Chain A
């Protein structure tokens, strides 16, 4: 054959581990030796993942890494889903990292845009979650990964706690391609409550001086839910969940879907829908789900992450949530994304929608990325199992009684205007300008128009499945765009025709009296109400306690 070596990665890993050993490091590394560890096992141009999720972040290691000498460690290629903290970007400003493949940069979006424009960060691509995890197993396998865990034992067995999130795919890809896995642990214990990552996949454990950063991003205070959001929630239940019989679904995390959750025990129950809708959900343990769950609406929930304060409640409802033998939640963003992708319906919000139904959360001064919405919010064309909603949607779309394939329902839930009078509906998405400004190959569209089946606004429901051709879709979208420019340019005659065919439905068409949209419909009107519904098990973070 030939004399090529086929174990160079393993040899290289061994050399790096040797260097760490020569520098006096064992498997458990003290916080003040973290920099020595990083300098021992990292090489310039390495691909690195420093676990940054939607919620938990290996923030201590990020901080240490951004302070290493860029003469020694430079041009790192960062491959991680979220960049939410300032130190994630400091890494690039200090010259330690250069290239970036990521999914979401919410709070750092403005600074990110600036650093890209200044040439400090080179973007490989902005991915969806599943896409980036997939590439860990194709051409973006990390050489070194740092994961954030709740606890580790002295052998290196890791317990992630309820926020497992991205840890499994990161560790799997790194450990099984001769990469180096480092854990940032909140505490070292004699015995972990459960083994989420076995010791022989872990190379080092750093005992962090403080618990890793974690963000309660899915907590929506019922006190802030408006009557308009309640009206739209009524329309979703009456106009979509009930007629299609939606049992398996994924909710976004905005106030709109929180309103739906909070009127299940009142409005939906009065309609006789208990047991008929919202049985199986792919969604984080959002506190606003508590009243519906306690009322018997939800049979099962799989979660991408956890939510601060929900730990005890979730552990006490293990029939509904996926929990380990230790009793605590086991979340997993990759599997939750898969579960949501193959469910019957996705509903979520966005910042802009154009007349073709394309939506985007990118506005001209910031680069935020996509997160998981594109995988949840697209037709699952590989799906082969049928269900009533899947078939009904396809019948509506094709006009055939026995369609060849099914159709997932993808619903966009938006008010026509955002706060400050910004219209959501627009003739042209900012995404096109962003593409041009940053020289992107594709415009950052979150959900493509041809994946969307329904747009719900306070004005009504556009059912795009019943539209024949782009002109009809455009008129149906204008019909629910209210008093925005886009809405005022509708053709009343064509809208009347679409309304007759059910492609546009106003509240009165589905038996909703808009005046009844009242906060008294909410099963919980405050965070305190949620605590009561939970029997005291929900323990909200301080910022949500105002009593």
Chain B
């Protein structure tokens, strides 16, 4: 069984994203896959998490809050396919993914 979590961030900074969508990571136990793509979202950043681990909603919220604060990028859709990764792995993959679409 998987849980679907949706998050939305109002970001101030306009995106200077590359156009192409990027995938980072692979799904597996303790791992995750991040699909990051530019999208017309009226200046928002949308993150959808599909996870096999139950009961970690609050931790996801904290991790993604910190990520959105660090990278306030508009018009971005991030889809996460999670196999029970720890916050450390989530952070690492998100940072690797954002580096693929931004020049950071």
Contacts and interface: CB of A to CB of B under 8 A. Distances in A.
Interface of A: 226-228, 231, 415-417, 419-421, 458-459, 482-483, 488, 514-515, 517
A417 B92 contact: no
A517 B88 CA distance: 12
22 contacts: A226-B30, A227-B89, A227-B92, A228-B89, A231-B88, A231-B92, A416-B86, A416-B88, A417-B86, A417-B88, A420-B84, A421-B86, A458-B91, A482-B87, A482-B88, A483-B63, A488-B62, A514-B92, A514-B95, A515-B92, A515-B96, A515-B99
A470 to B, nearest CB: 26
Interface in B78-104: 84, 86-89, 91-92, 95-96, 99
Contact of A415 (B62, B63, B86): B86
Contacts of B86: 228, 415-417, 421
B59 to A, nearest CB: 5
Nearest to A458: B88
B53 interface: yes
- Most interface-central of A226, A421, A458 (chain B CB within 10 A): A421
A458 B30 CA distance: 15
Contacts of A488: 62
Interface in B33-86: 53, 56, 59, 62-63, 84, 86
Interface residues of B, number: 16
A360 B2 CA distance: 33
Contacts of B96: 515
Contacts of A482: 87-88
Given A488-B62, A515-B99, A483 B87 contact: yes
Contacts, number: 42
Given A419-B30, A517-B92, 9 more contacts: A226-B89, A228-B86, A228-B92, A416-B88, A421-B56, A458-B88, A483-B87, A514-B91, A515-B95
Contacts of B92: 227-228, 231, 514-515, 517
The 9 A-B pairs at the shortest CB distance, nearest first, are namely A458-B88, A483-B87, A417-B86, A228-B88, A483-B59, A483-B62, A515-B95, A515-B96, A482-B87
B88 A421 contact: no
A397 B58 CA distance: 37
A89 to B, nearest CB: 32
B66 to A, nearest CB: 9
Contact of A417 (B62, B87, B95): B87
Contacts of A458: 88, 91
Nearest to B87: A483
- Most interface-central of B53, B84, B87, B88 (chain A CB within 10 A): B88
Contacts of B95: 514-515
A226 B93 CA distance: 13
Contacts of B59: 483
A419 B99 CA distance: 27
Contact of B53 (A231, A421, A514, A515): A421
Contacts of A227: 89, 92
A416 B90 CA distance: 13
A417 B30 CA distance: 11
Contacts of B53: 421
A226 to B, nearest CB: 8
A385 to B, nearest CB: 39
A515 B84 CA distance: 20
Contacts of A420: 84
